[in-house]
Structure formats: C-alpha cells, structure tokens
C-alpha cells in the first residue's frame, strides 16, 4: 500500500471489517483503490429494471421523523407499502448507501450506519436470501468502511459488505445521452432488487447530493471525465439504474463543505427519513432541507424533464409520520 504498511496488515483490516475481496483480492492488497485504475470485463450488460408497480392508496413518498433512526426507517417504509412490496422471498438485494468518505457518522458525509442496518434487517424480514451492502469509495475503501461504521452495522444485521476490488467491475450498457457503456461495480447488475440509501448533503459541484447523485457510487472508470457534463451523466445513470426503493437518510444533513465535509458545525441534526419510489420527489424533498429550490438544482430539474419523477410531489406539504423509539 502507498503508506508502506505491510500486506498482512491490510488483509487483517479487511478481515476485521468483514469485507469481501474474492478473486481480485491480490489487486486490492496492492492498493488499487483509485476508480480510474479498476478494469471491467469488456462485455456490456444492460441493467435490469427492478422497479415495482405503483400501489393504489399508497404514496410515492413518505416522511417519518423521530430520534431513533431505525424506527423512522421502518415507519417511512411501512407508509409506502411495507418492505414486502419491494423485497420477495429468496431474492438478492443490493443496498447502496453513500459510503464514500473517511468520516465518522457524526460528520454526516456518509449514510448513517443505523439507517443502513435497519434497511438490511427489513430485507431479511421479507425473507431475502442475501443482502449485499456495496459502494465504490472515493477515499481508502477499507478505512471508509470501518470509520463510517457502515461495515460493522451492516454485518451485524446479516449483510455482506462489498468494496472494490472485491466483486470486480463489469461493463454496463447504459445507453444515455452522455453515458453509453461504462464500468460499474458488479453487484449493481447482479442483484434482484436495488435499494438506494443516500444521505442529504450540499455538494460543491452539483449543489445537492441525494438519491440521484448517489448512483455515481456504482461507477468505476475515470469518473472525473464526466464532470463537464455532470447533470446529464447523473440522469443517464438514474435512467439506467432505477432503484426498487429509495430510503433517504436525513438524520443529519450537511449544510456546508460537501460532499466531503469534516466539520461538525456544518452538519445539522434533522431526525428525518424519507422513503419512496419517485427519485425526483425524494431529491426535491432533500433539496428543501438545504434551503435549495430543487428547480435550480440542474440534475433534479433535468431528471424531471426526462420523466423520472415529479419535483412538485417532493415540495408540496406532506403529512409526516412521528416515529417512536
């Protein structure tokens, strides 16, 4: 590794964090954690459509508030139809948190580990056969998984945790305006269901990072190449990888310094969870928590234009649920 620690120390850390390496483990032991250095299999695969139909009488967005994150997650998911609507017996579920940064939960840069763990528990209650928590971190992957608290929380709930090089990368046929074929982390294509679990943050480039932007964490390759057309890239990815369910973590929101953060003064305790099937509405709701007009967040406005959902549905008055402990 670049900091000179011996290979066995790195492997020990992997074991303690419970992270999955697989056949590419030797490459990981050499420290190949830059997305631009990972290489995918060269056969393009189309992402599956993992959405569920709308359910009569159930909203496409629900918000729950409470001091206990787990209770708020459960209440919000129940309000949009319950986990059994989204996960069926015997299925493999990919849970995609924001697990990108070498930060503690209190710093608000990653999804809260309690939120991730409760989503995993819900999946197993619906009799999922396997739950995989996966992301492509920006900072050192093992350290991010450890320090964020997500690896430990997810494993305690019964999930596998996969970080690169782990399952490797595959070439996905995205077929977008900007993104055509692109390298993505293999678990993104392998699962029967995709549950997106972002955190709400301000972002220096895109203004907001929430559910739509969280899909970027599935990408390998050289992500910086996409920054000149970032909004179109985000929407292309969101069209291709449509989550079964999105659970937005707003237990804490980052008001300044995002996406990396680091200052506790930049984080506000909100104590809210939103769940639903309209990714645009969920991002619009997240934008309002930051004092942003979602119509002025380019990728959110573009996503609505391309038919991914409704900004209005996330900004109109919502009857919030009070979630007890």
Separation CA 159–CA 86 (nearest Å): 17
> Any idea what the Cα angle at residue 240 is, between residues 297 and 195, rounded to 5°?
80
Which residues are paired to 196 by β-bridges? 96, 246
Which residues are paired to 96 by β-bridges? 196
State residue 24's pLDDT score: 36
Domains of the chain: 15-51+60-319 (3.40.50.11440)
State residue 20's pLDDT score: 52
In total, the chain counts a number of residues equal to 325
- The phi and psi torsions of 148 (rounded to 5 degrees) equal -70, -20
State residue 10's pLDDT score: 45
**How confident is the model over 28-53, as pLDDT tens digits?**
332 333 344 445 555 678 899 999 99
The answer to whether 259 and 214 have CB atoms below 8 angstroms apart is no
Separation CA 109–CA 309 (nearest Å): 26
Q: What parts of the chain have a pLDDT lower than 70?
A: 1-43, 325
- pTM recorded for the entire structure: 0.88
Location of structure tokens 């670049």? 2
Separation CA 211–CA 277 (nearest Å): 11
Beta strands in 129-187 (DSSP E): 130-134, 160-162, 169-173, 181-185
State residue 325's pLDDT score: 60
State residue 44's pLDDT score: 74
Report residue 49 as tokens: 């459509």
Report residue 306 as tokens: 């391309």
């Amino acid at each position: 590794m670049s900091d000179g620690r011996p290979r066995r120390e790195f492997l020990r850390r992997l074991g303690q964090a419970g992270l999955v390496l697989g056949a590419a483990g030797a490459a990981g032991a050499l420290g190949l954690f830059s997305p631009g250095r990972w290489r995918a299999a060269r056969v393009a695969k189309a992402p599956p459509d993992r959405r569920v139909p709308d359910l009569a009488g159930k909203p496409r967005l629900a918000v729950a508030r409470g001091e206990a994150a787990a209770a708020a997650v459960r209440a919000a998911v129940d309000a949009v139809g319950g986990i059994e609507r989204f996960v069926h017996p015997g299925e493999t579920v990919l849970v995609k948190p924001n697990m990108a940064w070498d930060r503690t939960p209190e710093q608000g840069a990653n999804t809260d580990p309690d939120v991730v763990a409760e989503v995993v528990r819900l999946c197993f209650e619906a009799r999922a056969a396997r739950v995989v928590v996966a992301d492509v971190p920006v900072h050192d992957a093992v350290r991010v998984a450890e320090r964020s608290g997500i690896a430990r929380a997810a494993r305690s709930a019964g999930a596998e945790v996969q970080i690169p090089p782990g399952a490797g990368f595959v070439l996905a046929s995205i077929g977008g305006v900007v993104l055509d074929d692109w390298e993505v982390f293999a678990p993104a294509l392998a699962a029967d269901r995709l549950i997106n679990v972002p955190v709400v943050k301000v972002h220096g480039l895109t203004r907001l990072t929430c559910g739509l932007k969280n899909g970027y964490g599935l990408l390998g390759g050289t992500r910086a190449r996409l920054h000149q057309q970032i909004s179109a890239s985000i929407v292309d990815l969101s069209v291709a990888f449509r989550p079964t369910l999105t659970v937005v973590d707003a237990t804490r929101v980052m008001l300044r310094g995002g996406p990396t953060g680091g200052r506790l003064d930049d984080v506000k305790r909100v104590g809210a969870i939103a769940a639903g099937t309209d990714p645009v509405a969920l991002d619009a709701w997240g934008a309002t928590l930051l004092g942003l007009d979602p119509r002025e967040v380019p990728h959110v406005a573009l996503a609505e234009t391309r038919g991914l959902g409704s900004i209005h549905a996330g900004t109109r008055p919502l009857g919030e649920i009070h979630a007890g402990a």
